[in-house]
Amino acid sequence: MTNPIHDTLFAPLAGQPRPFLTLADGTQITAGEFHDQLARYGHALRACGLEPGDRVAVQASKSPRMLALYGAAMATGIVFLPLNTAYTPDELEYFVTDCCARLLLVDPERGTALAPLAGRHGIRLESLGAGGSFDALAANQPHRIDPAARADTDLAALLYTSGTTGRSKGAMLSQRNLLSNAETLVDLWRFTEKDVLLHALPIFHTHGLFVATNVILRAGAQMVFMPKFDIDQVFEAMGRATAMMGVPTFYTRLLEDPRLSRDTVGHMRLFISGSAPLLAETHQQWSARTGHDILERYGMTETNMLTSNPYDGARRPGTVGFPLPGVSLRITDADSGRELPQGQTGMIEVKGPNVFQGYWQMPEKTAEEFRADGYFMTGDLGVIDAQGYVTIVGRAKDLIISGGYNVYPKEVELLLDEMPGLRESAVIGLPHPDLGEAVVAVLAVQGDGPDEGQIMAELAAKLARFKQPKAFIRLPELPRNTMGKVQKAELRKTYAAYFTQTAA
Ligand code: MCA
Ligand code: AMP
């Protein structure tokens, strides 16, 4: 094998007349057509001067083209760096410079806004999409491609994850990390060429890109490929899909809709949830309304998927199931690293072929997060019950998960603390009926301080919309413990009912 991901996941599509993607408007793209596009894009990447190991950064709307670009990067051995479309130019600048991207691909309408950034750093900028410059370059390229030779350990993708402190870190994912996980999940979740996945997740994160897409490619299956989660389109697609992967917000939104019934899900065989905790209550309501038990699984950008509830056997509400075959998972005392007996709560640590290669150009950070015996410290706190089910009980990291997107409070606090009139801030996640957790800024203000409109205007220029607070709480002082540390747990307790009481 010369290029494990291309040969296993993408090469089988070439020349095949079977459907691969069905779009929201009913348009079908066959496997063969998709592979032709992938090949043309691969040649266009090479025409831009990129070589195996170079990085291509992409901030583009979800589309079959973006997916074909992922395939093109795999075929050419170019490291794929997808970026959240909500990121502001400020946020983008850090990622593309940190990874020394050779090429930045964006939607045609974003080209002008991002040209100064690309120019400043000497990064080639092209646009992806109908009428885009990259598409023009690809148009006359051959529709067959010789893949670049790649080894299991070569990098396939770089995905940035923010940190509790300091700069965002690029998680280096190898060919083997991605492929081994896809192979495990296909078997475990029984995906076959008969499956049609309802795909409504973004494709710039592990969940929508690797878990969903790679599993479908490996199984030789197809997808109803939607630009985003749109509830009407989701109900419409359930009549022809067999499986859905979603974040808990998908499930709570569907449950609120009177159309959800055993009939509407009659064609589906499997509902999978992950990226954030699925409330046991949501799991139970879903079972009662549809007759399907949601299969909850757990993973991380750094590790791909780690645990899953069983396909056969009890899918236990509130748990994330068992470690995947090939994944070794233990619970430890976070400080000493000592393994704890079954039933005790501690740090979840993992090891396996799915675990990443380290953080891009951050050997010290990488070393800090691995134990000497190779286990990676997830920052999640968990417990294993007598039957082996893992339950996540909390996080040792200061992280908010809002609708499946991670928000690191520190990043928001640093911006708030710089603003005149704000003495200090504590950014916390509070339970939210739609998003699971919502970002809230608790502010200690000097005098009247700036109003919310002013604060939001400042933040909007620098931070993606999903990181911006959904509410502000003003206090004369932030609560502190005797060591002088702000008591976020106390704040979360005091304002726990904030969104349910104010009916956000
Ligand atoms: C959109 N908004 C959000 C979020 N999404 N605010 C906070 N949190 C969010 N997640 C903003 C919008 O900009 C908008 O702002 C307002 O909230 C309402 O938008 P709405 O139309 O309701 O949102 P939406 O477009 O329907 O999106 C909600 C969503 C979406 C469907 C839940 O966020 C989503 O697809 N999330 C999935 C994320 C994901 O794939 N995570 C996987 C990470 P305004 O109206 O003010 O402009 S990978 C991972 O975690 C690991 C590896 C794993 O285990 O999978
Ligand atoms: P990310 O950095 O986007 O990869 O997010 C990974 C984090 O999402 C994990 O460390 C967990 O805290 C959280 N996560 C993922 N799946 C689940 C789940 N099923 N239940 C609870 N938390 C989850």
- Residue 142 has a CB neighbour count (10 Å cut-off) of 11
The pLDDT value given to residue 155:
98
The CATH number of residue 454's host domain is 3.30.300.30
Distance of alpha carbon 367 from the chain centroid: 23
Residue 82 Cα, ligand 2 centroid: separation in angstroms? 19
Q: How confident is the model at residue 266 (pLDDT cuts 50, 70, 90)?
A: very high
Instruction: For residues 355 and 442, state if they share a domain.
Output: no
**Mean pLDDT, residues 11-27:** 97
Q: Which of 62-66, 410-414, 446-450, 492-496 is the least confident region?
A: 446-450
Ligand 1, residues 225, 327, 405: which to mutate, most atoms within 8 A of Cβ? 405
Nearest CA residue ID for atom 7, ligand 2:
300
β-pairing verdict for 270-273 and 243-246: parallel
- Residue 339 has a CB neighbour count (10 Å cut-off) of 14
Q: What is the DSSP letter of 466?
A: G
Boundary residue ending a domain (369, 395, 421): 395
User: Encoding tokens for residue 428?
Assistant: 């916390």
Nearest to 198 by CA among 270, 298, 128, 131: 270
Instruction: For residues 381 and 425, state if they share a domain.
Output: no
pLDDT tens track for 94-143: 999 999 999 999 999 999 999 999 999 999 999 999 999 999 999 999 99
Residue 334 amino acid letter:
A
C-alpha span between 501 and 504 (Å, rounded): 8
The pLDDT value given to residue 34:
98
User: Encoding tokens for residue 132?
Assistant: 């885009």
C-alpha span between 292 and 110 (Å, rounded): 42
Q: How far is CA 213 from CA 245, 263, 271, 331, in A?
A: 10, 27, 15, 31
In the chain, the percentage of residues whose pLDDT exceeds 90 is 95
Boundary residue ending a domain (150, 174, 190): 150
pLDDT tens track for 444-462: 998 888 999 999 999 999 9
Pocket lining: 275 vs ligand 1, CB cutoff 6 Å = yes
Nearest to 381 by CA among 422, 410, 348, 421: 348
The pLDDT value given to residue 147:
98
Residue 137 lies in a domain: yes
Q: Which atom of ligand 2 is nearest to the CA of 300?
A: 4
Pocket lining: 351 vs ligand 1, CB cutoff 6 Å = no
Nearest to 56 by CA among 134, 169, 138: 134
The pLDDT value given to residue 443:
96
**Mean pLDDT, residues 36-62:** 98
Q: How confident is the model at residue 1 (pLDDT cuts 50, 70, 90)?
A: low
Tokens 């990443």 sit at which residue? 356
Instruction: For residues 304 and 419, state if they share a domain.
Output: no
Domain that holds residue 120: 4-12+30-150
Instruction: For residues 85 and 130, state if they share a domain.
Output: yes
Tell me the sheet residues that pair with 158. 172
Q: Which atom of ligand 2 is nearest to the CA of 379?
A: 10
Domain count, the chain: 3
Checking if the pLDDT of 188 tops 80, the result is yes
β-pairing verdict for 400-402 and 328-332: unpaired
Instruction: For residues 123 and 266, state if they share a domain.
Output: no
Instruction: For residues 407 and 389, state if they share a domain.
Output: no
Helix ranges (H only) for 207-308 are 215-219, 231-238, 248-255, 280-290
First to last CA, the chain: 54
The pLDDT value given to residue 164:
67
Contact in structure between 179 and 189 (CB atoms under 8 Å):
no
Residue 242 lies in a domain: yes
- Residue 89 has a CB neighbour count (10 Å cut-off) of 14
What are the φ and ψ backbone dihedral angles of 477, each rounded to 5 degrees?
-140, 150
Residue 89 lies in a domain: yes
Instruction: For residues 376 and 255, state if they share a domain.
Output: yes
C-alpha span between 391 and 482 (Å, rounded): 32
The CATH number of residue 269's host domain is 3.40.50.12780
pLDDT tens track for 379-418: 999 999 999 999 999 999 899 999 999 999 999 999 999 9
Q: What HEC string does 73-122 produce?
A: HHHHCCEEEECCCCCCHHHHHHHHHHCCCCEEEECHHHHHHHHHHHHHHC
User: Coil, strand, or helix at residue 137?
Assistant: helix
Pocket lining: 249 vs ligand 1, CB cutoff 6 Å = yes
C-alpha span between 492 and 489 (Å, rounded): 5
Residue 406 Cα, ligand 2 centroid: separation in angstroms? 9
Query: What is the overall mean pLDDT for the chain?
Result: 96
Pocket lining: 252 vs ligand 1, CB cutoff 6 Å = no
User: Encoding tokens for residue 67?
Assistant: 């997916």
Instruction: For residues 362 and 246, state if they share a domain.
Output: yes
C-alpha span between 188 and 116 (Å, rounded): 47
Pocket lining: 274 vs ligand 2, CB cutoff 6 Å = yes
**Mean pLDDT, residues 79-106:** 96
Residue 48 Cα, ligand 2 centroid: separation in angstroms? 36
The pLDDT value given to residue 502:
57
Identify the residue with better confidence: 397 or 51. 51
What are the φ and ψ backbone dihedral angles of 153, each rounded to 5 degrees?
-90, -5
Q: Which of 267-276, 289-298, 440-449 is the least confident region?
A: 440-449
Residue 191 lies in a domain: no
Ligand showing the shortest atom-to-Cα distance for residue 273: 2
Identify the residue with better confidence: 167 or 112. 112
Residue 193 lies in a domain: no
Helix ranges (H only) for 124-259 are 133-139, 175-188, 206, 215-219, 231-238, 248-255
C-alpha span between 377 and 108 (Å, rounded): 40
Checking if the pLDDT of 305 tops 50, the result is yes
Nearest CA residue ID for atom 44, ligand 1:
465
Sheet holding 322-323, edge to edge: 28-30, 19-23, 222-225, 196-199, 243-246, 270-273, 295-300, 304-308, 322-323
Q: Which of 164-168, 258-262, 334-338 is the least confident region?
A: 164-168
Boundary residue ending a domain (375, 395, 415): 395
C-alpha span between 408 and 406 (Å, rounded): 7
User: Coil, strand, or helix at residue 501?
Assistant: helix
Pocket lining: 459 vs ligand 1, CB cutoff 6 Å = no
Instruction: For residues 77 and 124, state if they share a domain.
Output: yes
Residue 403 Cα, ligand 1 centroid: separation in angstroms? 5
Residue 72 lies in a domain: yes
Residues 6+ apart with CB under 8 A from 353: 176, 177, 180, 181, 326
Instruction: For residues 369 and 223, state if they share a domain.
Output: yes
Pocket lining: 206 vs ligand 1, CB cutoff 6 Å = yes
Residue 24 lies in a domain: no
**Mean pLDDT, residues 50-67:** 98
User: Coil, strand, or helix at residue 22?
Assistant: strand
What angle is formed at CA 428 by the lines to CA 99 and CA 384, rounded to 5 degrees? 80
Nearest CA residue ID for atom 28, ligand 1:
403
Checking if the pLDDT of 504 tops 90, the result is no
Pocket lining: 248 vs ligand 1, CB cutoff 6 Å = no
Instruction: For residues 391 and 423, state if they share a domain.
Output: no
User: Encoding tokens for residue 113?
Assistant: 């806004």
Q: What is the DSSP letter of 72?
A: H
**Mean pLDDT, residues 438-447:** 93
The pLDDT value given to residue 162:
79
Pocket lining: 208 vs ligand 1, CB cutoff 6 Å = yes
In the chain, the percentage of residues whose pLDDT exceeds 70 is 98
Residue 196 lies in a domain: no
Instruction: For residues 311 and 420, state if they share a domain.
Output: no
The CATH number of residue 115's host domain is 3.40.50.980
